[in-house]
Amino acid sequence: MGRLAAAFEAARSEGRAALIGYLPAGFPSAEESAEFMKAMVAGGVDIVEVGMPYSDPVMDGPVIQAAANTALAGGATMHTALACVTAVHDAGAVACVMSYWNPIERYGVTQFASDLSDAGGAAVITPDLSPQEAHAWTQASDAAGVERVFLVAPSSTDERLGLVTSAANGFVYAASLMGVTGNAEADAAVAETLVARARRHTSLPVAVGLGVSTAAQAHEIAQFADGVIVGSAFIRAINAAISPADAKARVAALAAELREGVAR
Q: What pLDDT is attached to residue 159?
A: 94
Question: Is residue 11 assigned to a domain?
Answer: no
Q: What is the mean pLDDT of residues 171-175?
A: 95
The active-site residue, picked from 46, 60, 147, 220, is: 60
Q: What pLDDT, in 10s, does the model give residues 190-212?
A: 999 999 999 999 999 999 998 89
Could you give the CA distance from residue 73 to residue 27 in angstroms, rounded to a whole number? Answer: 10
Q: What is the pLDDT of residue 185?
A: 58
Please indicate whether residue 118 is annotated as part of the active site: no
Is residue 106 situated within a structural domain? yes
197 CB neighbour count, 10 Å cutoff:
17
Residue 181: alpha-carbon gap to chain centroid: 12
Q: Among 168-177, 219-228, 250-259, whose mean pLDDT is lowest?
A: 168-177
Tell me the C-alpha distance between 263 and 184, whole Å: 23
Q: Is 8 a member of any domain?
A: no
Q: Is residue 156 part of a domain?
A: yes
- Does some domain include residue 13? no
Residue type, 169: N
pTM of this prediction? 0.94
Which residues lie below 8 Å from residue 50, measured CB to CB, with a gap of 6+?
23, 25, 37, 81, 84, 85, 88, 95, 96, 97, 98, 121
CA gap 144, 110 in Å, rounded: 8
Q: What is the C-alpha separation between 88 and 90, in angstroms, rounded? A: 5
Backbone angles phi, psi at 240, to 5 degrees: -80, -10
For residue 169, give its domain range. Answer: 18-261
Give the model confidence (pLDDT) of 13-35 as tens digits: 999 999 999 999 999 999 999 99
Q: Which stretch of DSSP H or E encloses residue 138?
A: helix 135-144
Domains contained in the chain, number: 1
On whether residue 5 sits in a domain, the answer given is no
Q: Domain holding 117: CATH number?
A: 3.20.20.70
Q: pLDDT tens digit string along 69-118?
A: 999 999 999 999 999 999 999 999 999 999 999 999 999 999 999 999 99
What is the pLDDT averaged over residues 134-163? 96
Does a structural domain hold residue 29? yes
Cα(221)–Cα(7) distance, integer angstroms: 18
Question: Can 158 be counted among the known catalytic residues?
Answer: no
Phi then psi for 245, rounded to 5 degrees? -65, -40
Judge if the upstream peptide bond of residue 24 is cis by omega within 30 degrees of 0: no
Which one from 35, 49, 220, 226 is the annotated catalytic residue? 49
Residue 182 has pLDDT above 80, yes or no: no
